[in-house]
Amino acid sequence: MAAITPILTSALVSQGVGLAVSEFSRRKKQDQSLKQLRQRQDLNQKIAEQNAQQSRERIAIDARQIEEKRKRALRRAVSRQRANFAAQGVGSGVGSSQAVLLGLFEQSDEEKAQREDLDNLRLNSIDQNLSQRASLNILQRTQLEQKNNLRNLSAIGNDITDLL
């Protein structure tokens, strides 16, 4: 029995070293896959942020152009209405003519408010998409880490079973 003990000990040690090497190799591959996932996600997030910034700028440019167009249209409508009043012999200081002009301004302000609300919805959508992308990235990383942990535990259990 004494002669068998060194042989068994030697076999267990060599098998343990082999298991440690395979465990190290497995963890290195897992770390590398996690690192690659993070790099891909970081690159995709950066691209998404650049696209979001371009979208924000496009919305701002469109808003300025639409606002200028709205102001020009309002000036034309007011001028046209004043010309109509003058042609009818109604002064611009008369109550009903002021009410009509005020109505034009109010209608234009309502259109502006609606456009601003729509722009705000678009901007919020952009921000929400970025936030959801970041949350998804975190979820994917966490899932991969948990999957790797589960594989490691399973491998360790198998290794212990093999040793016994």
Residues 46-76 have pLDDT tens digits of 999 999 999 999 999 999 999 999 999 999 9
What local confidence, expressed as pLDDT, does residue 40 receive? Answer: 93
What local confidence, expressed as pLDDT, does residue 93 receive? Answer: 63
Spatial CB neighbours of 37, under 8 Å, sequence gap ≥ 6: 140, 141, 144
CA–CA distance, 93 with 86 (Å, rounded to integer): 11
Q: What is the pTM of this model?
A: 0.67
Instruction: Tally the domains of the chain.
Output: 1
What domain range includes position 53? 4-163
